[in-house]
Chains A and B, each alone.
Chain A
Amino acid sequence: MIVADRKPLDEILNSIKDYKKIMLMGCGGCVTVCFSGGAKAVELLASQLKMARKKQCKDIEITECAPERQCEYEFIDKFQEELKSVDAVLSTACGVGVQTMSERYPDTMTIPALNTKFMGYPVEQALWEERCAGCGDCVLEWTAGYCPIARCAKRLLNGPCGGSQDGKCEVDEETDCIWQLIYDRLKRLDKLDNLTTIREPKDWQTSTNAGQRKIMFEEAML
């Protein structure tokens, strides 16, 4: 899932300072699961904004809503009537939701209230960790299911750098050295041969280096 984190309140306040009537639009997808953008987060943010604006002696009207997903026209279009009467939309969706809104409603400003962080999952209650960088050419088959692209600070493909110590990464001692995990699991599975092969330089064209990426499912075309 996509994991996002709310921007600091002051930054949000500053980004909406010119607007009086705001639609605060959440999303019922990933950001609901990570507590940053669902209906509850919208409710909380709305009351914080109202309080803050009251202190600033600046009126604000906030309409709250949380479509099932902000990244599909079908769901955001349900609010098209209300959208006509607001000055701007403040979105607690990921960057995809914000852009879906911007492209569908080009005459209304949609402002992000979140920082979209990564693709990951909750490894424990209230703790999400990155797992996938969307590089477009998955290596998990030979890396024991641990991704060095998303989880190694140097995106190394041929084993750990000299900064791997006691299973931790030199860049952050709270973070596991992913190559230690890869090594340990391959050893357990008797597949250490995977690490003796020299892995060629990666073709980054499948990643973000060739501009916007597209996928088309011909079977699903109308």
Chain B
Amino acid sequence: MKSANRLEKVLTAGNFAVTAELGPPQNADPKVIKKKSQYFLGNVDGANITDNQTAIVRMSSIAAAAVAISCGVEPVAQMVCRDRNRIAMQSDILGAAALGIRNILCLSGDHQKFGNHPEAANVFDVDSMQLIAMVKKMRDDKQFLSGDPIKEHEPRLFIGAVANPFADPFEFRVIRLAKKIKAGADFIQTQCVFDVDKFARWMELVVKEGLHKKVYILAGLTPVRSAKALHYMKNEVAGMSIPDELIKRMESAEDPREEGIKICLEMIESVKNIDGVSGIHLMPIGWESITPIILERAGLLPRPQV
């Protein structure tokens, strides 16, 4: 076992895993995390704590993850390359492990242009690939990036990475996934799947390369409450593929909230049946309360004992 945590156990036992996103607040109130943790407790195998997502300042992902642990929820602490150099990142990796965090998700990070401090300098001292390799080096080789030894108590972390099957160049996305696996990724969470056909095409290439046997792939899914949300993602967020039929369906729905849930449930069924998919990662942006409802209706509760 790399981390001896729940998520790793669920995946290695061959269960269909469930993770979901928990966004920290734009303030210093731990009660927000505690409240949201109630939606996740016992319902997910890991709760992703985002790291200043879309470059908007929020409570630190590691601090929020520690609060989640105190509520009995297993966090997946996200770490982006935008705001810290290799010294701060390694320091935070040690700190995260010391606080009981066992899962880390390594990402490049949204560019600061999209956040509330577009004037900020970005760091990108290392990129997401190099971050994955750095965590692996700390865990498996018991060494810092510099090669200096971590004499004892190396961070035991289950290493996650992301993949976006909908960004370009499409053919490169599988090569990039293979690189992330080579760098040390244990599991992958994908960008939100709305275009199941394109996701299936990508998964076909992944399976053809045998990559699904080297890493656990969790399909990212986002339930939406309105057609407006889909329009926004289609027009404003790069690297998203949103079929027009889906937008029409949401526009003509009498109860868009219920329709959004239904669509998400259908998506869960679809991705479950795609060869090589090991689980789902729910990202109900600002709508965490829907997570247990969707999981219940999808028949994914109770979670397996491991």
Contact = CB atoms under 8 A, between A and B. Distances in A.
Interface of A: 153-168, 170-171, 177, 179-180, 183-184, 192, 195-196, 198-201, 204
Interface string B72-86: 000000000110001
B175 A160 contact: no
B168 A156 contact: no
Given A163-B238, A165-B238, A198-B183, A158 B127 contact: yes
User: Which one of A163, A179, A184 has the highest number of Cβ atoms from chain B below 10 Å of its Cβ?
Assistant: A163
A164 B169 contact: yes
Contact of B162 (A154, A162, A179, A196): A162
A177 B168 contact: yes
Given A154-B122, A164-B239, A200 B172 contact: no
A192 B169 CA distance: 13
User: Which one of A158, A162, A184 has the highest number of Cβ atoms from chain B below 10 Å of its Cβ?
Assistant: A162
A201 B168 contact: no
B182 A164 contact: no
Given A162-B239, A163-B238, A201-B145, A180 B124 contact: no
A170 B113 CA distance: 10
A160 B130 contact: no
Count class of interface residues, chain B: 20 to 34
B125 A201 contact: yes
9 contacts: A153-B113, A156-B128, A161-B167, A165-B167, A170-B238, A171-B113, A196-B175, A201-B125, A201-B126
Interface string B165-189: 0011100100110110011000000
Contact of A201 (B86, B162, B191, B239): B86
A179 B169 CA distance: 9
A199 B126 CA distance: 10
Interface string B227-248: 0000000000011000000000
Contact of A154 (B127, B169, B176, B179): B127
Nearest to B108: A161
B168 A165 contact: yes
A44 B300 CA distance: 72
B279 to A, nearest CB: 20
A196 B167 contact: no
B111 A154 contact: yes
B164 interface: yes
A198 B133 contact: yes
Contacts of A204: 125
B129 interface: yes
Given A158-B130, A198-B133, 15 more contacts: A153-B122, A154-B109, A157-B130, A160-B172, A161-B167, A164-B168, A164-B239, A165-B167, A192-B175, A195-B175, A199-B129, A201-B126, A201-B130, A201-B134, A201-B145
